[in-house]
Each structure stands twice: as structure tokens, then as C-alpha cells.
Structure 1
Amino acid sequence: MKTLFIVRHAKSSWDYKGIDDIDRPLKKSGIKDAYLMSKFLAGEIERPGIFISSSANRALHTALIFCENFQYPISGLVKSRQLYSFSDGYLVKTVKALDDGYSSAIIFSHDHGINTFVNKFGDIPIAHVPTCGVIGIQFQDKHWKDVKKGKTIMTEFPKNHR
């Protein structure tokens, strides 16, 4: 059995002019939500075996806050430029390429790719995953490369924890 947690990065700021999209930072409210959700999640689940994040600043900052609250070593956080994509293609490739030694993983990524992925691979339709939303999907498969359709075991959004 394999368990995947997907986290949409926390709320980012559009206040900075002249910086590339990949460099946009989190807003204060995004930082608060990342702490809120990571503390909640750390109390609900066992620490995932691997943490993987898009290389975008906002996703990395979200992932670092989760690492802190899960006591996951920052040196173990895998950064992926490919996850800085707004389609589910690289998310699917990332999941299917996971080492089978990991029974669970947590991935930090972006809006459209996450929405498409959780609706394709989970069993509960989700109209929109908000910033810092967490979706958990459990697969009966032995190998990550074989995952097709799983059971959605978690849909947690910041607004339900404030």
C-alpha cells in the first residue's frame, strides 16, 4: 500500500514587481496557514518517508515549514524544477518515479496540476484545492509506478482549522 499527501503551496504575494513568478514569496497569511496545516497534519499522520517540493519559492517555503513541524531534515527535502508546472504531467511522473522503499510521500506543488491530479487519482471529486490545502490519497498498489486510482483519505483546508 502507498499513501500520498499533496499540498498546494500556501498563499503567495503579488506585491513584488519585477521578480519572476518562480521567486514570489509567501504572504504573512500564507506563512500562518502553513504553520496551521503542518501542525495539524503532524498530529494526524505518521511522518511521510520523503518530502518533495516544486522549486518555486512559495512551494519551498511551505515545504520548509512542514519539514520543521514534522521534524524532517531539511537536507532530505527534494527540490524539483519539474514540479514548477501547472499541469499534472510532471506530478504524475514524480509520483510514479518514487522509490518503492517509501510507503508514503508528501509533495508540494501548484494549483491546476494538483486539481487535475487529485480528481484523476482520488475517488472524491474536488472542485478546487485552496492554497495550503492538503489531499491524502491511498493506493492499494505495491509499486508507485503502478498507481492508477486510489481512495481519497484526507481533504483538509485551512479555513476549517482557523
Structure 2
Amino acid sequence: MRQLILIRHAKSSWDNVELNDFDRPLNKRGKRDVPFMANLLAQKNIIPELIISSPALRTKLTAIEFAKKLNINENEIIWDKNLYLAPASKILNIIHKIDFKIKCVLLVGHNPGLTDLQNLLCKDEIDNIPTCGIVSMATNEEWSKINVKDFNLQFFEYPKKYFK
């Protein structure tokens, strides 16, 4: 079985209008949500063998916090510039190149690409992966052979389930 965990970056700040999109940091809510959601994933005893993240600041900060909570060295994170604001088709190309020996991958990225990817690959569709949302899905296919609707949804977690 192969497990793909999609994580949308935590809520980012729009306070500094001079920053370009790539360099936006997390806002107060994002800084609250990341450790909480990372702990939630850690409690499920899921340890990914590979973390791939967009290098945009908000995704980078999200990925690093998840790595810490999962006891993974942040130097092991793969920063893939092709994930920045990538459409589902581009993300799927990245997934197809994952080594077949790897069973569990955590991918940190952006919407709408992540939600579109989830809906492309998974039998159970989701309207929207909110900021810091986690979608876990599983398949018996090899990464290179993954196709439409090959995955089953395992769980879908997001901060507003816990913070009203």
C-alpha cells in the first residue's frame, strides 16, 4: 500500500503588500494551526519516508513544523519549485517520479492544485482543502502508475474542525 498525505500550507499573512506572493509568511492563525495539525498527524503514528514541499515561505514554514513534530530532519525535505502554485497535472508528474520503494509521502503545497489533485485521484471528492488541511489517501498502485480515482480517502483533517 502507498499513502499520499496532502497538506495545504497554513494561513498566510497579507499584511505587507510589498511582499511578493512567494515570500508571504504565516499569520497568527497559521502559526497557531501548524503545530496543532502536525501534532494531530503525529498522534496517528504516520511517519512519511519522504516530504516534498513548495519552497514558498508559507509552505516551507508549514513543512518544517510538520517535519519537527514527526521527528524528521528538515534537511531531508525536498524543496521542489515546480510545486509552487502548481496545477494538479504538474503535481501528478512529481508523484509519478517518486521511487517505488517509498510507501508514504507527505506533500505540502497550494490550492487550487492540491484540492484538484485530491479530486482527480481519490474516489471521495472534497470541495476544498482549507489552509493547514490534511488529506490522507491510499492506493495499491505504484507511484509511476497512479491514475484517476486510484486512491481511497483515509482521513481529512483541518483546523476549523477543532477551532471554532
Alignment of 1:83-162 (within 5 A): 83-141=83-141, 143-148=142-147, 149-162=150-163
* Distance in 2 between residues matched to 1:117 and 1:153, nearest whole Å: 15
TM-score by length of 2: 0.95
Contact 1:35 1:66 in 2 (8 A): yes
Deviation at 1:156, TM superposition (A): 0.6
Cα deviation, 1:97-154, whole Å, max 9, x if unaligned, reads 111121010000001001110001011121111000000110111x201112110111
CA distance in structure 1 between the partners assigned to 2:72 and 2:65 by the alignment? 10
Q: In the alignment, is the contact (CA less than 8 A) between 1:136 and 1:153 conserved in 2?
A: yes
| CA distance in 1 between partners of 2:16 and 2:45 (Å) | 36
Q: What is the count of residue pairs matched by the alignment?
A: 161
**How far is 1:66 from its partner?**
0.2
> Over aligned residue pairs, what C-alpha RMSD do you find?
0.9
SS in 2 for 1:111: coil
Q: Is the 8 A contact 2:96 2:146 kept in 1?
A: yes
1:61 alignment partner in structure 2? 61
Judge conservation of contact 2:52–2:79 (CA < 8 Å) in 1. yes
**Alignment gaps of 5+ in structure 1:** none
Question: Secondary structure of the residue that 2:11 maps to in structure 1?
Answer: coil
Q: Which TM-score applies when normalising by structure 1?
A: 0.96
Name the CA distance, whole Å, in 1 between partners of 2:111 and 2:55.
Answer: 14
Where structure 2 has 5 or more consecutive residues not aligned to the other structure, the ranges are: none
